[in-house]
Amino acid sequence: MRTSLRWTIIILLLAAAAAPAAEGAKSQPSPRTGNATLLLGSRWLEDDDLWYPADTVDSIAIEMDWGRKSWPIHILAGIEMGKESKEGWIPEPSTGEVKFSDVHTQLFTVSVGIQAYFRTEKKLQPFVGGALAMTFAERDLRGLAYDPVEEEDSVGLLGKAGVRVRVAKNLYVGAEGRTLLGTDVELFKVKGNADFVGASVLLSWGW
C-alpha cells in the first residue's frame, strides 16, 4: 500500500488531535474535553465475491474526539488498520481457472466526523458517531497472479455505536459496533466494495 501516504495521514491526525488535548491540560478546570481511544476487533467484509477467503479482518484503530464541555457533540478523527491471510480456491485473474492460493487482505481507513456521548455524569455511557471515511483496500494473491498485489481507494460512510464504563477517574472500557457503507473498488478485474460490519472492545482515556 502507499506507505508514505499512510504515515503522513497518521502524523497529521495525531498532531491535530493532540493540540486540543494539550490545551485542555494547561489549566484546571478546562472548558475543553475529549477522549483518546484504542479499539481492537474484527471486520467482516460483505463482498464475498471480491474478498473470499480472507474476508474477516483483524483490526486495530486509534480515535480521538474533542470539543468544549458545552458542545452536545465532539469532533472525531480516527485511523484503522486491518489484515487477514488465508488459503483458498479462487479464479486466476487472467484465465479464470480456479486454483489454490494464499490470499492476503489489507485495509487502511482514515475517518473524520462527529461523536456524541450520553449520560456523561454516570459510570455507564452510551455513544454514537458517524464519519466520512476513506479506505485503502489491498488484495494480494501470492503465487497466483504475475503481479500479485492490487489496491484501490474509495470513500464511504462510517456509522458506529457503543457503550463504555468508567473504571477510574479518566479511564474507560467498553464495546463498539460499526459499519462502513458506500465504498466502490475493483481489484483483479472484480468489481465490488470494501463495506464491512465490525465489533471491537475499547480502552479510552478522557480529559
Give pLDDT tens digits for 107-146.
999 999 999 999 888 999 999 999 999 999 999 887 676 6
pLDDT classification of 89: cutoffs 50, 70, 90:
confident
Question: Cβ(83)–Cβ(109) under 8 Å?
Answer: no
In percent, the amount of the chain with pLDDT more than 70 equals 84
Whether residue 62 has pLDDT greater than 70: yes
User: pTM here?
Assistant: 0.83
CB neighbours of residue 143 within 10 Å: 12
Residue partners of 136: CB distance under 8 A and separation at least 6:
1, 2, 6, 107, 108, 109, 151, 152, 153
Average pLDDT over residues 71-76: 93
Whether residue 28 has pLDDT greater than 60: no
- Tell me, what's the pLDDT at 8? 57
Whether residue 10 has pLDDT greater than 60: no
- Per domain, the residue ranges of the chain are 3-20+32-206
- Tell me, what's the pLDDT at 24? 47
Average pLDDT over residues 17-36: 64
Q: What is the mean pLDDT of the chain?
A: 86
- Tell me, what's the pLDDT at 147? 65
Q: What does residue 66 show for φ and ψ, rounded to 5 degrees?
A: -155, 160
Q: Specify whether domain 3-20+32-206 bears CATH 3.40.1080.10.
A: no
Whether residue 67 has pLDDT greater than 60: yes
